[in-house]
Amino acid sequence: MLSQPSKFTKTAAQLALVLWALAVLYPLLWTLLSTLKDNSQFLAGRPWALPKSPLHWEHFSYVWRTYHFNDYFLNSVYVTTVSSVLAILLSATTAYVFSRFEFRGRRLMYGVYMAAMMIPMILGLVPLFFLLDDLGLINKLTGLIIVYTAWSLPFGVFVLGGFFRSLPKELEEAAYVDGSGYFRTLFQIMIPMARSGIVSIAIMNALNNWNEYVMGTIFVNDPSKYTLPVGISIMQAEMQYRVEWGPLFAGLLISMVPVVFVYIFFQRRIAEGIIAGAIK
Amino acid sequence: MTHNAQRKLFIFVCLVPAFLFFCLFTIYPIVRGMYISLFDWSGSSEHMTFIGLNNFKALYEDPIVWKAIGNDYFLVVGKVIGIVLLATLFAISVTRLRIRGAAFYRLVFFIPNIISIVVIGVLWRFVYNPSIGFLNAFLSLFSDTPVKTPWLGDTGTALWSILWPSIWAGVGFYFLLLVAAILGIPASLYEAAEIDGASQATQFRRITLPLIWEQVKVSILHIVMTTLNGSFVMVLLMTEGGPDNATQVLGSYLYQMGFKQFHMGAAAALGVVILALSMLTTLVLQLLLRRDPVELS
């Protein structure tokens, strides 16, 4: 006989779950509905009301062109793609060597990567600004790519290290016996075998970099180089002032749609990647 | 090339360039930040005067710093309680209480974690907006006169109004973490408890909680770290520390000192204070949260 939780407990728990799901989903729905409204509907004092016709679809094209969302979007795509690919390349090679080779200084180097995960990024912001300035990388997308790549390395090294350690050694040994070199073994055998870990890390990095705001806003002050989050934060101040609420919500939606699609598509991997990073 | 030389070359190529790159853009700025905290410096290289610990002394005497520390810990305590309670409750519900729709809740609850903090900040500013916001419109339904509370503009409500979105955005992550932890508990333990006639509450207290304690601890430490190091982003986006420093946290004060007032030395010193506080808090918490480890035989 199984002891069932009481009817009351179950109902209360069910209710709490449903309410929280609503609390999460409703703001997203509200964003979409608000996008299609004009100002008079915003001022009517009923923010939950459905938008009246005519629906203002033109708010999308308005922010896209007038507020240079097309530029922000492309900048974000560029920075996110390049930094995620670079970070994967560097962290996969590093993690592989850490997991399979013994050499002097190994513990120290690994320790440096891990310690950096614990240290608040904000402590380095001021010096990083001046370093990028000295290198001529302020107001450059390259500067952001470099910084994002560097700051995502420890997480990749950590998770992929665990991944490589869990792979059997026999395949590598067979490859070496067959005369395959180290680089070929790594890129043709090991990396393909660690594919699922690599994809998870790549998605995680991409999400983080797509959403990153603080460094983006400090290191880039040229409007043509803004990434989406920076563009939105600048734009929202301007739009509040000019009372363009509908277009502002359209902007929020444009930045959310790609990540929500990526998330729904890769949900399991993202969840696994995040938990792998947090637990150990 | 000999085999040994090939091996060395491989290790070198895979490791050293990435490591130097990493050190230059993360370790060096951090160490340099500690160094700058000992100087009076506005950012231009000519005028960099060594003043020892005077930056720290000035911070110690600055009432805003103490206010900011208080606000930081308000957010830490509020987020730890809110997030851990909700995440545990939800995780127990979809696992032990066998409430249907677990896959759906796992999908939905995590959504705030993938949305940019900027979008979250802007969305919640609209919820709190005094004239067109959702919250006041909703409260007005229950009142004769329209509610016009400036949630983010009032020193009494501003910090609470930042706490809530932070909890909203954080629950999903820890929910997933705890669900995974509970699902990892061997079913045989619960079966044995059933045979002994243990109630759900007893099972929670004697089996679930001790066995997920490690993950609860990790969650608490993680929330503390990310709040002390990162809550300033939400503050910058929603109130910029105002009104009257009511929502100022150390991180937002650092931003203001460094990138608005150009007191780079003081900003760096604040960074060191944040590092010291987060390390100290983590250490104390690890001692406080220590429980006898549970061995599964």
Share of residues in chain A with pLDDT > 90 (%): 34
A138-176 tens-digit pLDDT: 999 999 999 999 999 998 898 888 888 888 888 888 888
Neighbours of B54 (CB within 10 A): 16
pLDDT digits (tens, 9 = 90+) for B111-147: 998 898 999 999 998 889 888 888 888 888 888 888 8
CA distances (Å), origin A192, targets A59, A186, B101, B170: 44, 9, 35, 34
Cβ pair A267, A42 in contact under 8 A? no
Residue A27 is predicted with a pLDDT of 87
Cβ-nearest to B259 among A213, A218, A232: A218
Q: What is the pLDDT of residue B75?
A: 96
Q: What does the alpha-carbon distance between residue A189 and residue A195 come to, in Å, rounded to a whole number?
A: 10
The pLDDT of residue A238: 82
Average pLDDT over chain A reads 86
Cα–Cα distances in angstroms (integers) from residue A106 to residues A95, A113, A140, B283, in the given order: 11, 11, 34, 26
A132 pLDDT tier (thresholds 50, 70, 90): very high
The two three-digit tokens of residue A95, written as one number: 């993690």
pLDDT above 60 (res A1): no
Q: Closest CB to B15: pick one of A16, A94, A129.
A: A94
Spatial distance between the Cα atoms of A197 and A187, rounded to a whole number of angstroms? 15
pLDDT category of residue B99 using cuts at 50, 70 and 90: confident
Cα–Cα distance for residue pair A86/A111, rounded to 1 Å? 22
Tell whether the model's pLDDT for residue A87 goes beyond 90: yes
Q: Mutate which of B107, B114, B175, B262 to test chain A, going by most A C-beta atoms within 10 A?
A: B114
Residues of chain B above pLDDT 70, percent: 97
What pLDDT does residue A66 have? 80
- Separation of alpha carbons A192 and B289, rounded Å: 41
According to the model, what pLDDT value does residue B134 have?
Answer: 83
> Does residue B45 register a pLDDT over 70?
no
pLDDT given at position A279: 53
- Rounded distance, CA B145 to CA A81, Å? 52
Instruction: Say which DSSP state B147 is in.
Output: P
Residues of A in contact with B28 (CB under 8 A): 127, 131
Contact residues on chain B for A112, CB-CB shorter than 8 A = 19, 22-23, 27
Integer distance in angstroms from the first to the last C-alpha of chain A? Answer: 37
Superfamily the domain A56-279 falls into = MetI-like (1.10.3720.10)
CB contact under 8 A, B114 and A30: no
Tell me, what's the pLDDT at B233? Answer: 92
Task: Answer whether A153 touches B (CB < 8 Å).
Answer: yes
| CB-nearest partner of B30 from A16, A119, A271 | A119
- The pair of structure tokens assigned to B213 is 């304690």
Residue B198 dihedral angles phi and psi, to the nearest 5°? -70, 135
Chain-centre distance for alpha carbon B10: 39
pLDDT band at residue A274 using 50, 70 and 90 as cut-offs: low
Name which of A92-106, B161-175, B192-206 the model is least confident about.
Answer: B192-206
**Confidence grade of residue A280 (pLDDT, cut at 50, 70, 90):** very low
**pLDDT computed for residue B147 by the predictor:** 80
pLDDT digits (tens, 9 = 90+) for B161-182: 999 999 999 999 899 889 888 8
pLDDT in tens, B208-258: 888 888 889 888 998 999 899 888 999 999 998 878 899 999 999 999 998
Q: How far is A274 from chain B (nearest CA, A)?
A: 8
Alpha helices in chain B (DSSP H): 3-22, 28-36, 54-60, 63-95, 102-109, 111-114, 117-128, 134-140, 158-183, 187-195, 200-203, 209-238, 250-255, 264-288
Q: Cβ separation of B25 and A214 shorter than 8 Å?
A: no
Which of A101, A123, A128 best tests the B interface by mutation, with the highest count of B CBs <10 A? A123
Report CA torsion sign: B218, A263, A208, A247.
negative
Q: Contact A20/B109, CB-based, under 8 Å?
A: yes
Structure confidence by residue, pLDDT tens digits, A32-58: 888 888 777 777 777 777 777 777 788
Least CB–CB distance from A96: residue in B14, B36, B271: B14
How does the average pLDDT of chain B come out, rounded?
A: 89
Q: Give dist(CA B137, CA B148) in Å, integer.
A: 9
Computed from CA positions of residues B17, B19, B24, B26, in that sequence, does the dihedral angle turn out positive or negative?
positive
pLDDT at position B295 over 60: no
- Return the HEC string of chain A: CCCCCCHHHHHHHHHHHHHHHHHHHHHHHHHHHHHCCCHHHHCCCCCCCCCCCCCCCHHHHHHHHHCCHHHHHHHHHHHHHHHHHHHHHHHHHHHHHHHHCCCCCHHHHHHHHHHHHHCCHHHHHHHHHHHHHHCCCCCCHHHHHHHHHHHHHHHHHHHHHHHHHHCCCHHHHHHHHCCCCHHHHHHHHHHHHCHHHHHHHHHHHHHHHHHCCHHHHHHCCCHHHCCHHHHHHHHHHHHHHCCCHHHHHHHHHHHHHHHHHHHHHCHHHHHHHHHHHHHC
Angle at B120 between CA B117 and CA B121, to 5 degrees: 85
